[in-house]
Chains A and B, each alone.
Chain A
Amino acid sequence: MSTAPAPSVPVVTMTDVSKRFVIRKEKSLKERIVNLGRSNKHKDDFWALRGVSIDIEAGTTVGLIGANGSGKSTLLKVIGGILQPSTGEVRRRGQLAALLELGAGFHPDLTGRENVFLNGSILGLTQQQIAGFFDSIVDFSEIGEFIDTQVKFYSSGMYVRLAFAIAIHVDPDVLLIDEVLAVGDEPFQKKCLDKIAQFQREGRTIVIVTHDLGTVEKMCDRTVVLSHGTVIFDGDPVEGVAALRANFS
């Protein structure tokens, strides 16, 4: 959709990033003591990512696709700094916002208003910025007078709309999105996609994890296809989607 910038300015560089999960089969103290010394037998290693080295250029929209359990979300969390890679290094620059879950940190007992300030702050906005955006957030969410009601009384739609309204007011250079757009009714989804198109025009870098291959073909400049933690394709979205489909069959 948007054209890639001519001079390549990387915002995220990953060198040989691997992530190992250790699956322990015993948790209790008794089991641990009984199996002391033999504990290696009771551990399973699982490599969620293996030797991933990619650079992401500023102003591009990258779609991460792959089968369930191929490591897409793990990769997104590693970029976001939520998980630390076992080996390798992720370096990045610019302001980053991770929308891995809408309304992360919403407290059910607090009012919508209080949660706007809390969640906005978690996403990296200052209090002054949130105060400035506040009316616009309430407008976008269409919550109206319920903004001073405790969030636990919200319908799930209201909850998500408020959370999304906050999320689109963050001003990141890099935006990580994990399936969160697959919520809400059709008009609302359209609103979300419009907002993302606007973000693209503004030169923001977007990394999106999704199973919606149609969206990837339409929206992204580039696709990274993961399979069992390794990159099996990196390049044009249409070819990437074809590569993933070939991998499925």
Chain B
Amino acid sequence: MSIESQARISRIATLPFEKAGAPAGGLISGVAPAVRDIWGHRALLDLLIRRELKARYKDSALGFVWSFIRPLTMLAIYYFAVGQVLGAARSVPQFAIYVFAGLTLWGLYNEIIAGGTTSILANAGLIKKVYVPRELFPLASLGSALFNFVVQFVVLLAAVLVLGQFPLSWDLLYVPAAVVLTVIYGLAFGLFLSAVNVYLRDVQYLVEVALLILFWASPIVYSFGMVVDRATARGQEWIVTLYQLNPMTDIILAFQKGIWRAGSETTTTADGTVIPPQPFPADLDFRLLVLAVVGLALLLVAQRVFARLQGNFAQEI
């Protein structure tokens, strides 16, 4: 036996035994090993994100430009159809910034969840043949969604600067808070749905429909003020309460409060109409805090469900 082989075997003899596969563990105790396992594979996560971004527009002539064209088209459609034709712009100052802010943040949420849900199935080949922490795949979707978000956000910032609407105030802090909350909720739902989708493929279609409904149930193309006005006019304030149960309502409102200065000011339009400041929930800070706590709890539950279900991924795909 060679010296090299002897050295290897004596080194192995000193190593502790570990359980094969994903780290097990209870509700709380299982989280730390799982996070450590993912952290140990962060270089791979980085490569998976790059793979997703690179492969997406690889053979198209315009390539990366396409990730601008879609949101800008949506902006144009909503600006004209909802803003000008249906008249939502009349009561919402700087309607273009308003819509684009909402679309940008919603795009992040939508992409994390939709991409996450299909991520496990899309990587079936890998999951069946190698062990890597399976959380990497929804996380890679999150990474590529964040990258697209940053690109759109730069466009949004540029637009805000060009229109002379840069919001220099403490409200700007709402922007990172809203992004963090979006990531927490997106990841919690993405993780959970990606695991469930392996067992029940209907989930990915259901998610598409649900996201479409939730898009219209969030203050993106119309304003929160309109919801409040309609509800109070009918004496049905519970509608507002119900509306705010959608976590993205408050998160998007916070984002808008941060980046859309015109919403917090009194605006006089060219034809002399005076638009008062938009109503924001009075207890927005507190609501965001609650959302953060609930979101982290959801994320924890989602990770545990994922950990439980992933043991059979390789055979169910």
Contact = CB atoms under 8 A, between A and B. Distances in A.
Interface of A: 2-3, 5, 7, 9, 11-13, 21, 27, 29, 58-59, 77-84, 89-94, 98, 100-101, 104-105, 107, 109-110, 114, 117-118, 121-123, 126-127, 150, 173, 201-204
Given A109-B55, A122-B132, 4 more contacts: A79-B20, A104-B125, A109-B58, A117-B47
Given A59-B8, A93-B15, A127-B43, A82 B202 contact: no
Contacts of A100: 128-130
A90 B10 CA distance: 21
Contacts of B127: 82
13 contacts: A2-B1, A12-B20, A27-B201, A58-B8, A59-B8, A82-B131, A83-B314, A91-B17, A91-B18, A121-B44, A122-B44, A123-B130, A202-B2
B26 interface: no
Contacts of A107: 51, 55
Contacts of B130: 80, 82, 98, 100, 104-105, 122-123
Interface string B196-216: 000011100000000000000
A201 B5 CA distance: 6
B65 to A, nearest CB: 18
Interface in B93-145: 123, 125-132
Given A83-B314, A105-B130, A203 B1 contact: yes
Interface of B is mostly: helix
B306 to A, nearest CB: 13
Nearest to B19: A91
A203 B9 contact: yes
A82 B54 contact: no
Contacts of A82: 21, 127-131, 314
A58 B132 CA distance: 23
B5 A80 contact: no
Given A122-B130, A127-B43, A94 B12 contact: yes
